[in-house]
Amino acid sequence: MASRSIDDLTPRMREMAVKFLDGCLAAGIDVLIYCTYRSPEEQDELHTHGRTKPGAIVTNARAGQSKHNSRQAFDCVPLLNGKPQWSDAATYLKMGAIGEAAGLTWAGRWNGKLRETAHFQDGK
């Protein structure tokens, strides 16, 4: 099962995640990190969504292609009164700027790829 713990990230990524969370807190944004490390098997399972399994495509990365597999990424969602706000584009945009200021690459700015507003990763 995928991890939610920032302790499962690389030390560099963990440091950026803490800066991100501190920045969100300072901006009054409550955030849930719901995925950090993901096993290769879990990655391949996600890759089947919208392809060989029903639903929307949620990732273009197969096992070994995702920074989740190397502990250099996390996915998160803003919360309002403890409830996930998956469609809150304005808050995701603020979170993206906070993440970039913390040294993260925000997948909400990706062009030509699947844009993932919930995804942040180490740009190195």
Q: pLDDT per residue over 19-71, tens digit each?
A: 999 999 999 999 999 999 999 999 999 999 999 999 999 899 999 999 999 99
How many structural domains is the chain composed of? 1
Say what the pLDDT of residue 78 is: 98
Angle between the N-to-C axes of helices 89-101 and 11-26, in degrees from 0 to 180, rounded to the nearest 10: 130
- Is residue 50, in this structure, part of any structural domain at all? yes
96 contacts 117 by C-beta, under 8 angstroms: yes
Domain region containing 117 = 6-122
Statement: residue 1 has pLDDT above 90:
no
- Is residue 46, in this structure, part of any structural domain at all? yes
Domain harbouring 116, CATH code: 3.30.1380.10
- Is residue 1, in this structure, part of any structural domain at all? no
- Is residue 104, in this structure, part of any structural domain at all? yes
Say what the pLDDT of residue 112 is: 75
- Rg for the chain (alpha carbons), in Å? 14
**Which of the four pLDDT bands, split at 50, 70 and 90, describes residue 124?**
confident
pTM here is: 0.94
Statement: residue 123 has pLDDT above 90:
no
pLDDT higher at 57 or 124: 57
- Is residue 23, in this structure, part of any structural domain at all? yes
- Is residue 67, in this structure, part of any structural domain at all? yes
Half-sphere exposure at residue 90, Cβ-oriented, CA atoms within 13 angstroms: 1
Could you read off the pLDDT of 67-117 as tens digits, one per residue? 999 999 999 999 999 999 999 999 999 999 999 999 999 999 998 778 899
- Is residue 73, in this structure, part of any structural domain at all? yes
57 contacts 51 by C-beta, under 8 angstroms: yes
- Is residue 79, in this structure, part of any structural domain at all? yes
Phi first, then psi: give them for residue 104, nearest 5 degrees. Answer: -90, 155
